Amino acid sequence: MEQVTFTPTGIALKQHELYGLDDALLLEQVTHLRNDIVGWSQQNFILDDRQLDWLVQQDGSFRGQFAKQIADGLIGRFDFNIMFIGPPQSWKSKRIAARENLPVKAIDIRVEYIP
């Protein structure tokens, strides 16, 4: 799998790459993500130090829930929408919401400054 930047464009490229896999190969990726979201993220995205530090510093329960929502979205082949709010040096929080209002299935990720 190719590493891409953790930007809206990079995430769109990664989604296209993952959804080009057959179900068995996609399930392998999802299983790896669920078991080790930090390792999977490092293998699939070019993360800067702040992004990696943020992910590593989250408690295990948050990382587990984050991984589950992303993995469930991948298995369902949902669209991924990411929005970065504010300048990069202020990004502190990621909010994730899954929605399955047919015909639209999407995972919305909002990265913003939370004081």
* Alpha helices (H) along 20-82: 23-35, 37-44, 49-57, 60-75
pTM: 0.80
- Long-range (24+ apart) CB contacts under 8 A made by 22-26 are 26/74, 26/75
Domain enclosing residue 82, as ranges = 4-112
Distance CA 60, CA 82 (A): 23
When divided into structural domains, the chain yields a total of 1
pLDDT in tens, the chain (115 residues): 899 998 888 989 999 999 999 999 999 999 999 999 999 999 999 998 888 888 888 889 989 988 998 999 999 999 887 777 666 555 555 555 556 665 668 777 776 655 5
**Do 5 and 12 meet the contact criterion of CB atoms below 8 Å apart?**
no
